[in-house]
Structure 1
């Protein structure tokens, strides 16, 4: 898991070969004007889910993991969004089998810790990161850029 400001995104372009292109696309788009939904940026190798959603209480947010993609989650507007986080290797309470088609598995475990994004910040979540997004109060607009491993 990485948590930082978008102004520092160049520090992370070497993490994966597709990260430079993903961060260039993040920086060159006015995400306040893009319609909610899935938008392919580089086929299915890099795509974005633009979301406007009501945040959840901690008890209602489930930890999730992915196998095929790294998430870059960016808060576009709203006061803040919190995330629960745990190491994947420590998750013990799956809600079911891994869904390969949707690249997700949910868990009922309690997060080890929480952290909070504000507009202009991002978090990078790897397959090793169990994460419970969308925690807080109010409505937010965010993007989740999916980068195929």
Structure 2
């Protein structure tokens, strides 16, 4: 997991350049387009712009992906993310997931991070994360979710 702010990308200079470029491109798309799914310059990468409402943490499911790196950017509002690096071996052995997502009921050693406007978080494949949790109380949010196939970095 990695987190930062879109207005201070220079604070993560050692991050792979492609990640920073994807974030910059997705922010421009989000500013100039309505909700929806958009391809980035590299058409293997896409961003989903959506408006939704956060929910109490206990009502949100944790998830993992196998194929995609997930970059989530908060554009409006505030959002809490749960995360853990304690993935059960039975999940690690799965090779493919339908729609590249598996929801996980029981998460051990879960930690939390609160993101505000302009903040982003990067989750790599097999990193458990619980998005769209309310920080204090449920609220409307707008976010961009970038999906990058992990094999781009191979």
Pair in the same fold by TM > 0.5: yes
Number of residues paired by the alignment?
Answer: 144
Q: Please name the residue that 1:127 is paired with.
A: 125
Counterparts of 1:105 and 1:30, CA distance in 2: 28
Counterparts of 2:89 and 2:106, CA distance in 1: 6
Q: CA RMSD in A?
A: 2.5
Q: In 2 relative to 1, CA 91–131 (structure 1 residues): closer, same or farther, beyond 3 Å?
A: farther
Q: Please name the residue that 2:69 is paired with.
A: 70
Q: 1:14, CA displacement in angstroms?
A: 5.6
CA deviations on 1:81-110 (whole Å, 9 max, x unpaired) are: 000111152487x7xx88634111110014
Give the structure with the higher percent strand. Answer: 1
- Residue segments in structure 1 that go unaligned for 5+ positions in a row: none
Indicate which of 90, 98, 103 corresponds to 2:100. 103
- Is contact 2:66–2:96 with CA below 8 Å preserved after alignment? no
CA deviations on 1:106-125 (whole Å, 9 max, x unpaired) are: 10014611110000111011
Counterparts of 1:98 and 1:63, CA distance in 2: 19
- Is contact 1:32–1:76 with CA below 8 Å preserved after alignment? no
| Residues 48-59 of structure 1 mapped to structure 2, 5 A cutoff | 48-59=47-58
- Is contact 1:65–1:88 with CA below 8 Å preserved after alignment? no
Q: Could you list the runs of 4 or more consecutive aligned residues of structure 1 that deviate by over 6 angstroms after TM superposition? A: none
Indicate which of 83, 86, 89 corresponds to 2:87. 89
Secondary structure of residue in 1 paired with 2:22:
helix
Give the structure with the higher percent helix. Answer: 2
User: TM-score of the superposition, structure 2-length normalised?
Assistant: 0.79
